[in-house]
Amino acid sequence: LQVYDEMEEELATSGRSYAIDYAKEAMKNTAKAYHEKSKWLLQGHKTPAMEEYLKIALESTCYPMIAVTSFVGMGDIVTKQAIDWVRGKPQILEATCLICRLMDDLVSHQREQEREHIPSAVECYMQQYGVSEKEACYELHKQVEIAWKDINQGVIDARRPPMAMPMTLLTRILNLARVMDLLYKEDDGYTNSTHTKNYILSLLVDPIQV
Protein backbone atom coordinates (compact mmCIF):
# COMPACT_ATOMS: atom_id res chain seq x y z
CA LEU A 1 0.00 0.00 0.00
CA GLN A 2 2.89 2.34 0.71
CA VAL A 3 4.13 1.84 -2.85
CA TYR A 4 0.76 2.92 -4.23
CA ASP A 5 0.67 5.94 -1.91
CA GLU A 6 4.07 7.00 -3.20
CA MET A 7 2.97 6.48 -6.79
CA GLU A 8 -0.14 8.57 -6.18
CA GLU A 9 1.92 11.44 -4.79
CA GLU A 10 4.19 11.31 -7.82
CA LEU A 11 1.29 11.20 -10.26
CA ALA A 12 -0.47 14.10 -8.52
CA THR A 13 2.27 16.47 -9.64
CA SER A 14 1.21 15.88 -13.25
CA GLY A 15 -2.52 15.75 -12.57
CA ARG A 16 -2.69 12.00 -13.21
CA SER A 17 -3.41 10.67 -9.71
CA TYR A 18 -6.63 9.11 -11.06
CA ALA A 19 -4.47 6.44 -12.73
CA ILE A 20 -3.43 4.88 -9.44
CA ASP A 21 -6.89 3.37 -9.04
CA TYR A 22 -6.27 1.32 -12.18
CA ALA A 23 -3.03 -0.05 -10.75
CA LYS A 24 -4.76 -0.96 -7.49
CA GLU A 25 -7.58 -2.67 -9.36
CA ALA A 26 -5.08 -4.73 -11.35
CA MET A 27 -3.30 -5.82 -8.17
CA LYS A 28 -6.62 -6.84 -6.60
CA ASN A 29 -7.40 -8.99 -9.64
CA THR A 30 -4.02 -10.71 -9.30
CA ALA A 31 -4.59 -11.34 -5.59
CA LYS A 32 -8.03 -12.82 -6.33
CA ALA A 33 -6.49 -15.20 -8.86
CA TYR A 34 -3.89 -16.42 -6.36
CA HIS A 35 -6.61 -16.81 -3.74
CA GLU A 36 -8.63 -18.95 -6.13
CA LYS A 37 -5.60 -21.14 -6.86
CA SER A 38 -4.95 -21.59 -3.14
CA LYS A 39 -8.58 -22.70 -2.71
CA TRP A 40 -8.09 -25.28 -5.46
CA LEU A 41 -5.14 -26.69 -3.54
CA LEU A 42 -6.61 -26.58 -0.03
CA GLN A 43 -10.00 -27.95 -1.07
CA GLY A 44 -8.57 -30.70 -3.26
CA HIS A 45 -10.21 -29.28 -6.38
CA LYS A 46 -10.42 -31.77 -9.22
CA THR A 47 -8.26 -31.17 -12.28
CA PRO A 48 -10.06 -28.33 -14.10
CA ALA A 49 -10.77 -28.11 -17.81
CA MET A 50 -8.33 -25.95 -19.74
CA GLU A 51 -10.79 -23.06 -20.05
CA GLU A 52 -11.42 -23.00 -16.30
CA TYR A 53 -7.72 -23.31 -15.54
CA LEU A 54 -6.61 -20.57 -17.92
CA LYS A 55 -9.25 -18.14 -16.66
CA ILE A 56 -7.37 -18.07 -13.35
CA ALA A 57 -3.88 -19.04 -14.47
CA LEU A 58 -3.51 -16.24 -17.03
CA GLU A 59 -4.37 -13.63 -14.41
CA SER A 60 -1.92 -15.20 -11.94
CA THR A 61 0.96 -14.68 -14.36
CA CYS A 62 0.86 -11.13 -12.94
CA TYR A 63 1.28 -9.83 -16.48
CA PRO A 64 -2.06 -7.96 -16.61
CA MET A 65 -1.09 -6.21 -13.37
CA ILE A 66 2.46 -5.50 -14.54
CA ALA A 67 1.23 -4.11 -17.87
CA VAL A 68 -1.26 -1.72 -16.25
CA THR A 69 1.18 -0.62 -13.55
CA SER A 70 3.97 0.02 -16.06
CA PHE A 71 1.62 2.15 -18.16
CA VAL A 72 0.62 4.16 -15.09
CA GLY A 73 4.24 5.01 -14.39
CA MET A 74 5.31 5.99 -17.91
CA GLY A 75 4.36 9.65 -17.85
CA ASP A 76 2.47 11.86 -20.27
CA ILE A 77 2.80 9.47 -23.22
CA VAL A 78 0.13 7.35 -21.53
CA THR A 79 -3.38 8.71 -21.95
CA LYS A 80 -6.51 7.54 -20.16
CA GLN A 81 -7.47 5.89 -23.45
CA ALA A 82 -4.23 3.90 -23.40
CA ILE A 83 -4.79 2.71 -19.83
CA ASP A 84 -8.37 1.72 -20.62
CA TRP A 85 -7.05 -0.18 -23.63
CA VAL A 86 -4.53 -2.23 -21.66
CA ARG A 87 -7.06 -2.84 -18.85
CA GLY A 88 -9.31 -4.40 -21.46
CA LYS A 89 -6.66 -7.09 -22.09
CA PRO A 90 -6.16 -6.62 -25.82
CA GLN A 91 -4.96 -9.44 -28.06
CA ILE A 92 -1.26 -8.67 -27.56
CA LEU A 93 -1.61 -8.89 -23.76
CA GLU A 94 -3.78 -12.02 -23.81
CA ALA A 95 -1.24 -13.75 -26.06
CA THR A 96 1.63 -12.63 -23.83
CA CYS A 97 -0.12 -14.04 -20.75
CA LEU A 98 -0.70 -17.33 -22.57
CA ILE A 99 2.97 -17.58 -23.54
CA CYS A 100 3.97 -16.90 -19.95
CA ARG A 101 1.64 -19.49 -18.46
CA LEU A 102 2.24 -22.28 -20.95
CA MET A 103 6.03 -21.90 -21.17
CA ASP A 104 6.26 -21.85 -17.38
CA ASP A 105 4.03 -24.92 -17.01
CA LEU A 106 5.81 -26.87 -19.74
CA VAL A 107 9.22 -26.69 -18.07
CA SER A 108 8.15 -26.85 -14.41
CA HIS A 109 5.13 -29.16 -14.23
CA GLN A 110 7.06 -32.35 -13.43
CA ARG A 111 8.93 -30.76 -10.54
CA GLU A 112 5.76 -29.11 -9.23
CA GLN A 113 3.79 -32.36 -9.21
CA GLU A 114 6.42 -33.95 -6.96
CA ARG A 115 5.07 -31.80 -4.14
CA GLU A 116 1.68 -30.46 -3.13
CA HIS A 117 0.68 -28.25 -6.04
CA ILE A 118 -2.31 -27.52 -8.24
CA PRO A 119 -2.42 -29.11 -11.72
CA SER A 120 -0.58 -27.28 -14.49
CA ALA A 121 -1.76 -26.74 -18.04
CA VAL A 122 -0.11 -30.05 -18.93
CA GLU A 123 -2.17 -32.08 -16.45
CA CYS A 124 -5.33 -30.16 -17.37
CA TYR A 125 -4.82 -30.86 -21.07
CA MET A 126 -4.05 -34.54 -20.46
CA GLN A 127 -7.18 -34.93 -18.34
CA GLN A 128 -9.51 -33.06 -20.69
CA TYR A 129 -8.40 -34.68 -23.93
CA GLY A 130 -7.26 -38.09 -22.69
CA VAL A 131 -3.75 -37.80 -24.14
CA SER A 132 -0.26 -38.63 -22.91
CA GLU A 133 2.08 -36.13 -21.30
CA LYS A 134 4.17 -36.03 -24.49
CA GLU A 135 1.13 -35.31 -26.65
CA ALA A 136 -0.10 -32.63 -24.26
CA CYS A 137 3.28 -30.88 -24.27
CA TYR A 138 3.39 -31.00 -28.06
CA GLU A 139 -0.04 -29.38 -28.36
CA LEU A 140 0.76 -26.72 -25.77
CA HIS A 141 3.98 -25.85 -27.60
CA LYS A 142 1.86 -25.34 -30.72
CA GLN A 143 -0.37 -22.96 -28.76
CA VAL A 144 2.70 -20.96 -27.75
CA GLU A 145 3.72 -20.65 -31.41
CA ILE A 146 0.23 -19.45 -32.32
CA ALA A 147 0.34 -16.93 -29.46
CA TRP A 148 3.50 -15.37 -30.92
CA LYS A 149 1.60 -14.87 -34.18
CA ASP A 150 -1.24 -13.31 -32.19
CA ILE A 151 1.24 -10.89 -30.65
CA ASN A 152 2.43 -9.83 -34.10
CA GLN A 153 -1.16 -9.30 -35.22
CA GLY A 154 -1.96 -7.51 -31.98
CA VAL A 155 0.86 -5.03 -32.54
CA ILE A 156 -0.29 -4.35 -36.10
CA ASP A 157 -3.90 -3.82 -35.01
CA ALA A 158 -2.97 -1.57 -32.09
CA ARG A 159 -0.86 0.66 -34.31
CA ARG A 160 -3.79 1.35 -36.62
CA PRO A 161 -6.25 4.22 -36.12
CA PRO A 162 -8.27 4.96 -34.12
CA MET A 163 -6.04 3.57 -31.34
CA ALA A 164 -2.68 4.29 -33.01
CA MET A 165 -0.95 3.06 -29.86
CA PRO A 166 2.66 4.30 -29.53
CA MET A 167 5.22 1.55 -30.10
CA THR A 168 6.86 2.58 -26.83
CA LEU A 169 3.81 1.26 -24.97
CA LEU A 170 3.43 -1.88 -27.05
CA THR A 171 7.09 -2.71 -26.43
CA ARG A 172 6.39 -2.87 -22.69
CA ILE A 173 3.99 -5.75 -23.31
CA LEU A 174 6.14 -7.36 -25.99
CA ASN A 175 9.11 -7.45 -23.62
CA LEU A 176 7.08 -9.48 -21.12
CA ALA A 177 6.79 -12.22 -23.73
CA ARG A 178 10.43 -11.90 -24.70
CA VAL A 179 11.64 -12.48 -21.16
CA MET A 180 9.64 -15.72 -20.99
CA ASP A 181 11.30 -16.90 -24.18
CA LEU A 182 14.66 -16.16 -22.59
CA LEU A 183 13.98 -17.76 -19.21
CA TYR A 184 11.81 -20.76 -20.11
CA LYS A 185 12.60 -21.82 -23.66
CA GLU A 186 14.82 -24.75 -22.67
CA ASP A 187 14.50 -25.01 -18.89
CA ASP A 188 13.09 -23.25 -15.84
CA GLY A 189 15.54 -20.37 -15.88
CA TYR A 190 13.92 -18.78 -12.86
CA THR A 191 14.36 -21.77 -10.55
CA ASN A 192 17.54 -23.09 -12.17
CA SER A 193 19.27 -19.79 -12.71
CA THR A 194 22.74 -20.85 -13.92
CA HIS A 195 22.06 -20.04 -17.57
CA THR A 196 20.17 -16.91 -16.60
CA LYS A 197 23.19 -15.76 -14.61
CA ASN A 198 25.35 -16.22 -17.71
CA TYR A 199 22.99 -14.00 -19.73
CA ILE A 200 23.20 -11.29 -17.09
CA LEU A 201 26.98 -11.53 -16.96
CA SER A 202 27.18 -11.24 -20.75
CA LEU A 203 24.95 -8.18 -20.72
CA LEU A 204 26.25 -6.24 -17.73
CA VAL A 205 29.69 -7.58 -16.76
CA ASP A 206 31.24 -8.73 -20.04
CA PRO A 207 29.33 -6.82 -22.72
CA ILE A 208 30.41 -6.90 -26.35
CA GLN A 209 32.03 -3.62 -27.28
CA VAL A 210 30.23 -1.93 -30.15
For residue 15, the model assigns a pLDDT of: 82
**How far apart, in Å, are the Cα atoms of 117 and each of 31, 43, 107, 149, 192?**
18, 12, 15, 31, 19
Neighbour tally for 80: CB within 10 Å? 11
- Amino acid 48: pLDDT: 92
Mean pLDDT of the chain: 91
Ordered domains of the chain (ranges, CATH):
2-185 (1.10.600.10)
pLDDT surpassing 90 at residue 137: yes
CB 45 within 8 A of CB 118: yes
Q: Are 99 and 148 in contact (CB under 8 A)?
A: yes
Of 5-9, 64-68, 196-200, the range with the lowest mean pLDDT is 196-200
Q: What is the DSSP letter of 207?
A: P
Q: Of the candidates 141, 139, 169, 138, which has an alpha carbon nearest to the alpha carbon of residue 154?
A: 169
pLDDT tens digits for 48-58? 999 999 999 99
Residue bearing the bigger pLDDT, 73 or 115? 73
- What pLDDT is recorded for position 126? 96
More confident residue, 77 or 96: 96
Query: Whole-model pTM?
Result: 0.89
DSSP, residue by residue, 150-177: HHHHHHHHHHSTTT---HHHHHHHHHHH
Residue 1 has pLDDT above 80, yes or no: no
